[in-house]
Structures are given as C-alpha cells and as structure tokens.
Structure 1
C-alpha cells in the first residue's frame, strides 16, 4: 500500500495556549493509537527546535558537516505521522483526524514507491 506523510510546519501550534497542551497531547496520542489499532500506523513524532540537546546538522554531498542554526529560509517540520493506507482519500481522513487533534492544518504527501525498499 502507499505510504503518506502527514505533517505540519514548525510554529503551526503556536496559537495554542500552554495550558491546553496536555489535552492536545492526549487527543494526538489517541489518533496515533487509533491508527495503530487500524493497522495503518508507521511512525509519528514531533520535532523540537528550542532544546539545547537537540542538534541540527546539514551534511553536504562532499561529506562536509555544517552544524545549525536552523536556516530561517527553510520550511521546518513541526510534527509528522506516516500512514500506510490504500488510497489518498484514506490518508486525507487520517490527516483530518490529526488536524482536529493537533488543532492545526496538516500537509499530506504521498511517498514515491521504491520496490527495493520493501
């Protein structure tokens, strides 16, 4: 089945009051559990950009490593879920559930199928 990336940009949840984050976490985890129970879950996670322990690096084609900071000109992912579903419509349904849980719009993109990666 095709795999889809459901994601939102860094800052997309900035409108949520701090005191609401426990509820957002609870509802988001419930969607992940529902995806697991449905057998479509592949991976999910959020990314931190303000934690000193999290390192960012860019590795060039010549192997040169450049450590952060994050480029302001690049679109950064705030969080993501990968689902393995039969249709685009099914991916959009999971994105809708995620949008409600995370209280922000979700971007949906289909991975290119690589039979050698299966």
Structure 2
C-alpha cells in the first residue's frame, strides 16, 4: 500500500463565517470515514501563527525556511491506500467537504517507514 499526501493551501479555502462550521463538520466526517475504513494515517493544518525555523545538523536554529517553501501552509491528510485511483476518490471526498480542490501526491516507498 502507498501513502498519499492530500493537501490544499489556505488561500484555496474561501469561506464565510457561517460556512466555516459546516466545512469543519463535513471534514471531520470524512476523517472519521477514513479512520473507519482503516486508511487514515495523519492529518491536520499547519499552524500559521507559528513561524517556521531551520535546524542545521549541528543544532543551529535559524528563523525562516527554504525560499521554495515560504508559502507552505494549509491542510494536509496522509492516507495509506491500495491505488492512485483510491487516492483520487478520497481526494474528491475531502475536496467536497473542504469546498476546495485537493492536490494528490504519492510518497516514495520506504520499507522502513
């Protein structure tokens, strides 16, 4: 089975204050469905109030991040699924719940993880 990252940037989710609770309820229902199906690995949103830091091999901590990832934010789910088609089906459920398109990426297989 392959692990898939299903994600969206914060800017993709444009909601009214009233719509926020509906999306929260719908997304929690999809998470529970994935847990019940035994495919849920991990999920959550990046806390954008906490700035990123870089940690070097010697332990040096520097504020900031790689320039390529300065916009890394939003919501993420990791599911373990039997096929790419299954990942697309789950992404569609998450997209409907969150009311925004989802990006799907496969993790490379690593027998140690």
| TM-score calculated relative to the size of structure 1 | 0.84
Query: 1:12, CA displacement in angstroms?
Result: 1.5
CA distance, structure 2, for counterparts of residue 62 and residue 110 of structure 1: 31
Secondary structure of the residue aligned to 2:89 is helix
- Give 1:77-96 correspondences, 5 Å limit: 77-96=73-92
Query: Which residue matches 1:24?
Result: 23
Query: What is aligned with 1:6?
Result: 6
1:107 aligned residue:
103
Is there any run of 5+ residues in structure 1 with no aligned partner, and where?
none
Q: CA-to-partner distance for each residue in 1:75-95, whole Å, 9 max, x for gaps?
A: 313011111110000000000
Please identify which structure carries the higher helix content.
Answer: 2
2: CA distance, partners of 1:79 / 1:100: 14
Distance 2:95 2:63 in 1: 32
CA shift, 1:64, in A, is 2.6
**Aligned residue number for residue 43 of structure 2:** 44
Cα distance in structure 1, aligned partners of 2:22 and 2:66? 29
Normalising by structure 2, we get a TM-score of 0.88
> Mind listing any 5+ residue stretches in structure 2 that lack a counterpart?
none
Quote the RMSD (CA, aligned, Å): 2.1
Retained in 1: the 8 A contact 2:45–2:74?
yes
Number of residue pairs the alignment of both structures matches = 113
